[in-house]
Amino acid sequence: MLQSTLFGKTLREPPRDDQSTNAQLLQQAGYVDKLMAGVYSYLPLGYRVLKNIEHIIREELTEIGGQELLLPALHPKENWMVTGRWDGPDPLYKLEDESGHAYALGSTHEEIITPLVKRDVHSYRDLPLALYQFQTKFRAELRAKSGMLRGREFIMKDLYSFHRDEADLARYYDVVKEAYVKIFKRCGIGEETVLTFASGGSFAKYSHEFQTLTAAGEDTIYLCPTCRIAINDEIIAEQPNCPQCKADRGKLIEQKAIEVGNIFSLKTKYSAPFGLTFKDESGTEMPVLMGCYGIGLGRVMGTVVEVHHDDRGIAWPKAIAPYDVHVVRLGDSPSVVAAADTLYADLRKKNVSPLYDDRDLSAGIKLKDADLIGLPLRVVVSEKTMSAGKIEVKRRIEEESNLVDGLEALVAQYL
Amino acid sequence: MLQSTLFGKTLREPPRDDQSTNAQLLQQAGYVDKLMAGVYSYLPLGYRVLKNIEHIIREELTEIGGQELLLPALHPKENWMVTGRWDGPDPLYKLEDESGHAYALGSTHEEIITPLVKRDVHSYRDLPLALYQFQTKFRAELRAKSGMLRGREFIMKDLYSFHRDEADLARYYDVVKEAYVKIFKRCGIGEETVLTFASGGSFAKYSHEFQTLTAAGEDTIYLCPTCRIAINDEIIAEQPNCPQCKADRGKLIEQKAIEVGNIFSLKTKYSAPFGLTFKDESGTEMPVLMGCYGIGLGRVMGTVVEVHHDDRGIAWPKAIAPYDVHVVRLGDSPSVVAAADTLYADLRKKNVSPLYDDRDLSAGIKLKDADLIGLPLRVVVSEKTMSAGKIEVKRRIEEESNLVDGLEALVAQYL
């Protein structure tokens, strides 16, 4: 992509009306634009990051048998009355049409997927089943803050699983747990993300969250330094020991963290009100047991920025970076332009995705923008590097640049 | 994909509450499920078709310089007041939050993208620009009918282009027109889809629609049989001749058609109220000229079904079919099961995507389902085909099946 034509300019200053680091950097670097509090547009760079995260999640969920579908955002009130959630606890956006029918904008989809599955699942042969979607959700948050971490409109991956008994639900629950570990690792926050025991609501002793350790977090967790397992402060009173090694509360470290994923054992919480049952081998009607598993994609993006940035800007992990390498042309002499154009074309031939800063701007502005945008690798083409017969390459996370002999060496050593 | 585990069963009868052929077949075959009038869930098969259509559109729009982004669905009332469209003509879903702020659910995105572009476009150097998204739109249709053709919630591709003068807008308008021709051709409705002159509104003499000829269409158009160009009946009084060969109204053929795409020259209709201007080479502030270009993805899916079906079911064009081939196992003897399993595995190794009917059901039901689901190719594995040492293959659009020698012959001759 030629940066001269890329939509989404970098801003000289971070926006003043967003205090969180992720929202400031993502806006300043041209990834997102704020339409209103808690509602952001994804600009081309941000949309590429979003799609990369989506791609990773889709691969891992396909691997564990998830089938992708897409449910509506507009829900009839009747479905939410069945579960009693029309009036909370989650704040729903509600609307009425001219004929007086009332709707909610979906903040989650148990009220839609449960009756849908009821249409098709009748026998033990139809189970287990795992269905997921990437979908825009809405939450009527009056005070949306924290940038991409808590929006009023946001994109979620929500997976729902359906089982014949608790053993099978528990089995799949662990399968998803493992898939989540892989997802967060591939997104570049594996080291900072810890499995956290949280409240299970009325149907299970615990649920599990994936919490990413960062001072920007809204949640407080207590981390066992030995096991890297944590306890959410909402249950620390009832569960004051590490669930694994039983270390007591004094050994646990209080940390701020962002919940990037959660997994719930719903059991019959939604299948019961919707009458979702199946016939077992003996013909007996049994309740279907459910699990649900969420990941907020914008939240993952914001969390990665909170974890991977410095004073100069973002430092994307390779797997979700919008482009692999930033080719920065310094100077506009015909020979420099020709060399940079060639490098850009050659990288594309090698299936590397480059962002090419072909703009006629000062070296200072271009290098500053490269740091702000934060691609994993920066390659500078200038009179200086050309006279040395070299390409200058620098990783975003390192301070020092290096000279390599040419394209082949660049690809072999860095890509 | 194993059909025994695929979510979305075929129905014995088409649903009674949907009269349109597309909605009946798509529901009966397990592609979509109706949540309420005009609002459908995409089941796994339907979601794959949707993604195939999206992929084709994305490739063609990338080819013409379109940059993909994603705008919000929740719009502040203020933006729609600027253009005067808060109160029509399109029926908007409107809502208020507890603090009294009013919002619309986007039925289109001129009100969002115009101020967004204003943030970044200041100079002639920033133009032209083409931005698009795949996005869920909402329209408060009181009488949603026609199945996937006219929804209350639906997925659109909307492209917006920005230009310095009318000549450049006209140039790009033609570029998009050509891209649309390619898109509809690739989606399998190229032959049935004709460029149609329609009302241009207050800012241009004409807009252009892509209308697909089918008796199921809601629109009436007058087609010139020589030029394959049509005139929408809304302007037939003022434009009674073929715009190309000037054939008079008596020569034009009245046809029913579905509008699958449209392109509008908006000129300054939205840039003027939002003050979207640029400085030309002389430093003079000039208005930006806009074009907008839509394709409804669900509508394309429904239209393809209207065009490509028979009494037995759907007949998907290869490029958008959910799977390439339907492997149908008839019988459950160990040798048949082993042969069908092997064929399924071998096809996947050859990067063919098969749907494998591994269900223990009668031959009658399985062959009926295969016709209903409508993959382009059906391969039958049975005692009979095995004893002949052959594979039985049939194209959905042909009546006769053929015997081929084995996998290599199947792939070479049919895939």
pLDDT attached to residue A315: 98
pLDDT along chain B (415 residues), means of 10: 97 90 97 96 98 98 98 98 92 92 97 98 97 96 80 96 98 98 98 95 87 96 96 94 92 96 96 98 98 97 97 98 98 95 96 97 97 98 92 96 93 92
Suggest the residue from A49, A67, A107 to mutate for an interface test with chain B (most B CBs closer than 10 A). Answer: A67
> Is B73 close to A153, i.e. CB distance below 8 A?
yes
Contact A336, A330 (CB under 8 A): yes
One-letter amino acid identity for A46?
Answer: G
Quick one: pLDDT band at residue A364, thresholds 50, 70, 90? very high
**Interface size between A and B, measured as CB pairs under 8 A:** 130
Show the tokens assigned to B407.
């996998």
What average pLDDT does chain A have?
A: 95
> Is A42 close to B73, i.e. CB distance below 8 A?
no
Nearest to A29 by CA among A401, A373, A306: A373
Show the tokens assigned to A243.
């669930």
Q: What is the CATH T-level fold of the domain B21-310, as seen in this structure?
A: BirA Bifunctional Protein; domain 2 (3.30.930)
> Is A112 close to B153, i.e. CB distance below 8 A?
no
> Is B142 close to A99, i.e. CB distance below 8 A?
yes
pLDDT attached to residue B296: 97
Query: Which residues lie below 8 Å from residue B94, measured CB to CB, with a gap of 6+?
Result: A95, B77, B102, B103, B104, B105
The pLDDT tens digits of the residues spanning A123-154 come to: 999 999 999 999 999 999 887 777 888 899 99
Phi and psi, residue A172, nearest 5°: -70, -35
Q: How far apart are CA A165 and CA A124, in angstroms?
A: 10
> What are the structural domain ranges in chain A?
21-310, 323-414
One-letter amino acid identity for A112?
Answer: I
Which residues in chain B have their CB less than 8 angstroms from residue A116's CB? 33, 41
> Is A36 close to B99, i.e. CB distance below 8 A?
no
Contact B374, B28 (CB under 8 A): no
Residue of chain B with shortest Cα separation from A126 = B5
Number of Cβ within 10 Å of residue A297's Cβ equals: 23
Nearest to A304 by CA among A29, A64, A33, A44: A29
Q: Read out DSSP for B366-381?
A: HHHHHHHHT-SEEEEE
The DSSP H or E segment spanning A301 is: helix A297-307
Least confident of A150-164, A197-211, B280-294: A197-211
The pLDDT tens digits of the residues spanning A334-358 come to: 999 999 999 999 999 999 999 999 9
Which residues in chain B have their CB less than 8 angstroms from residue A99's CB? 142
Show the tokens assigned to B219.
């629109």
The DSSP H or E segment spanning A257 is: strand A253-267
Q: What is the CA radius of gyration of chain B?
A: 24
Assign 3-class secondary structure to A339-377.
HHHHHHHHHHHCCCCEEEECCCCCHHHHHHHHHHHCCCE
The pLDDT tens digits of the residues spanning B279-336 come to: 999 999 999 999 999 999 999 999 999 999 999 999 999 999 999 999 999 999 999 9
Angle separating helix axes A44-63 and A297-307, nearest 10 degrees: 110
Q: Look at strands B193-199 and B153-163 and give their pairing.
A: unpaired
> Is A74 close to B68, i.e. CB distance below 8 A?
no
Residue A8 has pLDDT above 90, yes or no: yes
> Is A44 close to B33, i.e. CB distance below 8 A?
no
> Is B68 close to A44, i.e. CB distance below 8 A?
yes
Suggest the residue from B10, B36, B61 to mutate for an interface test with chain A (most A CBs closer than 10 A). Answer: B36
Show the tokens assigned to A199.
């409240």
Q: In the CATH scheme, what architecture does the domain B323-414 have?
A: 3-Layer(aba) Sandwich (3.40)
The pLDDT tens digits of the residues spanning B33-77 come to: 999 999 999 999 999 999 999 999 999 999 999 999 999 999 999
> Is A70 close to B42, i.e. CB distance below 8 A?
yes
What is residue A308's three-state secondary structure?
A: coil
Q: Measured between CB atoms, which of A41, A74, A91 is closest to B116? A: A41
Q: Read out DSSP for A131-159?
A: EEEEEEEE---SS--TGGGS-SEEEEEEE
Q: Measured between CB atoms, which of A33, A47, A94 is closest to B119? A: A33
Phi and psi, residue B347, nearest 5°: -60, -40
Number of Cβ within 10 Å of residue A279's Cβ equals: 14
Q: How far apart are CA A195 and CA A104, in angstroms?
A: 32
Quick one: pLDDT band at residue A203, thresholds 50, 70, 90? confident
Number of Cβ within 10 Å of residue A244's Cβ equals: 13
ipTM > 0.95 for the complex: yes
